[in-house]
Amino acid sequence: MAIVSSNSTTSAADPLEDGRKRAMLLAALYIAQEQFGWLSEEAIRRVAERLDLSVGQVKSTASFYTMFKLQPQGKYRIQVCEGLSCYLVGGADPIIEYVSAKLGIQPGETTADGLFTLEVVQCLAACGTAPALKVNDELYENMTFTAIDQLIERLQEQAE
């Protein structure tokens, strides 16, 4: 999709072109988040500039969606599913509590070394292999406490 550089004449003549530029916002926020690790004021200002939007418009949109992070994030984002299927097989709460105790952080918080952020998320669509969690983009299924121990250990080694 071509982004036409906006000047007042094109946008007045073709409201669709203006709309197309705004339509890049979610994708632009993802790119900014990838680069900065999270959506800082600076990142938001840059996205707004690039897309000819106000900072308010960008912030309002970013804050609507749970996947846009307005706080700094850990290197590994551990997202524990609290979907019903995970709950029914005894996952969800115990797993959240276990990870939380192990890392010493509450859901939404990041460890002091900046390595892990714990998040509680909605259904990861791995219901047939519940309980499930995700680390960044990687899905881990049929989780047990032992599997979590190994996973976190491996991530810690990887980070060193």
Partner 1 sequence: MENVELQQDQVAIPTYTELPYYRKQVRIALRNCGIINPQRIEDYIARGGYLALAKALTEMTPDEVIGVMKESKLRGRGGAGFVTGIKWEFARRSPARPKYVICNADEGDPGAFMDRSILEGDPHSVIEGMAIAAYAIGSEEGYIYCRAEYPLAIAHLKTAIQQARDYGFLGKNILGSNFNFDLHIKEGAGAFVCGEETALMASIEGRRGEPRPRPPFPAVSGLWSKPSNVNNVKSYAMTPQIILNGAEWFASIGTENSPGTAIFALTGKINRTGLIEVPMGITLREIIYDIGGGIPGGKKFKAVQTGGPLGGCLPAEALDTPVDFDSLVQAGATMGSGGMIVVDEDTCMVEFAKYFLTFASAESCGKCVPCRIGGRRLLEVLTRISNGEGKPEDLDEIEYISRNMKEASLCALGQLTPGPVMASLRFFRSEYEAHIYDKKCPAKVCKGLITYRVIEENCTGCMVCKRNCPAGAISGEKREVHYIDPSICERCGICITVCKFDAILIE
Which residues lie near partner 1 (CB under 8 A)? 1, 15-16, 19, 22-27, 29-30, 60-61, 64-68, 83-85, 87-88, 121-128, 130, 134, 137
Q: Yes or no: say if 117 and 74 are a contact pair by the CB < 8 Å rule.
A: yes
Q: Yes or no: say if 131 and 120 are a contact pair by the CB < 8 Å rule.
A: no
Nearer to partner 1, 8 or 128 (CB): 128
Nearer to partner 1, 122 or 156 (CB): 122
Q: Which two tokens stand for residue 52?
A: 């000819």
Interatomic CA distance for residues 62 and 97, integer angstroms: 29
For the beta carbon of residue 41, count every other beta carbon within 10 angstroms.
10
Strand locations in 16-130 (E): 76-81, 116-121
Minimum CB–partner distance for residue 96 and partner 1 (Å): 13
Q: 16 phi and psi, to 5 degrees?
A: -65, -40
Nearer to partner 1, 93 or 113 (CB): 93
Minimum CB–partner distance for residue 134 and partner 1 (Å): 8
Minimum CB–partner distance for residue 55 and partner 1 (Å): 15
Minimum CB–partner distance for residue 22 and partner 1 (Å): 4
Nearer to partner 1, 72 or 94 (CB): 94
